[in-house]
Amino acid sequence: MLFKAQTERGTGGSGKLYLIAGLGNPGSRYAATFHNCGFMALDRLAESLGIKVNKARFKGVYGRGSACGQQVILLKPETFMNNSGQSLAAAVAYFKIPLDRVLLLYDDVDIPLGQIRIREKGGPGTHNGMRSVVGSLSSQLFPRIRIGIGPQPAVMDIADYVLSQVSQTQQALLDQALERVSEAVALWLEHDIQLAMNRVNPSRQQHKEVQQPDA
C-alpha cells in the first residue's frame, strides 16, 4: 500500500503538525453504518501508522504520531455527527494548527460507492457534520476527503440510508475507497493537496457526482 511505503521512508516526526479528523457517530449501534465512513477511514490510518487513538480530550478521542516526516494528530469527535465542529474547533485552537493542515474525512451520498473525492476547500453541502465544522471553525478553507456512499436508494429517506448498515457486498467497494483514502493522505502529507487531487480524484468520465452548490 502506498501509505505504508511512504511512511517507512519518512517516520521522523520533526516536520509540521497536521490534524486529520474522521467524522461519525460514537457507539456500537452506528459503527458499521454508512455515516461512519470517516471513523472507518481514520481507524485504518491509525492501524497503518501504529497510532493509538485513545486519549480523551476535545470532546473526542485522539492520538499522536508521525507519517511521511510530519507530525500527525488523528481525531475522532464523540459529540455525534451534528456537533462535530465542537471537537474540531477545540483541537485546532489548542494545537494552533493552520486550517490548510487540517483534513476532514467523511461520507458523501452524492459520490458513488467505491470512489473518493478530494477538495481543497468549499462549503458543507447537505452534510450536517460538515455544517457543524464549517460553523465552528468560521471557515471553509480546509481540505477534505469525501468517501462515496451513493447513490441513495429512491425508496429510502436520506437519514435512514446514511444510518443503515453496510452490507457484505457493499463493504467490498467501501474497502477499496478506504484504501484510496490512505493513499491520498500520504500524498497530501508528503507533497500537497493539489498533487493528491490530481492523482486520486476520478476523471470527469468516471465521476458521476451530483453537483451541489456550496452553502
Q: Is residue 205 part of a domain?
A: no
Q: Is residue 15 part of a domain?
A: yes
Mean pLDDT of the chain: 90
User: Which residue type is seen at 64?
Assistant: R
- Residues 181-209 pLDDT 10s: 999 999 999 999 999 999 999 875 444 44
Mean pLDDT, range 92-114, rounded to an integer: 97
Rounded to 10 degrees, the C-alpha dihedral 100/1/75/96 comes to -30
Hey, which residues are catalytic here? Answer: 35
Rounded to two decimals, what is the model's pTM? 0.89
Q: Is residue 207 part of a domain?
A: no
Q: Is residue 208 part of a domain?
A: no
Q: Is residue 146 part of a domain?
A: yes
The domain tally of the chain equals 1
Q: What is the domain extent for residue 42?
A: 2-200
Q: Is residue 211 part of a domain?
A: no
Q: What is the DSSP string of 140-165?
A: --S-EEEEEEEPPPTTS-HHHHHTSB
Q: Is residue 145 part of a domain?
A: yes
Q: Is residue 83 part of a domain?
A: yes
Contact of 79 with 23, CB cutoff 8 Å: no
Mean pLDDT, range 140-148, rounded to an integer: 98
Q: Which of 50-54, 124-128, 202-206 has the lowest mean pLDDT?
A: 202-206
For the domain that residue 10 is a member of, what is the CATH number?
A: 3.40.50.1470
Q: Which residues contact 145 (CB under 8 A, 6 or more apart)?
A: 41, 103, 104, 105, 106, 116, 117, 118, 181, 184, 185
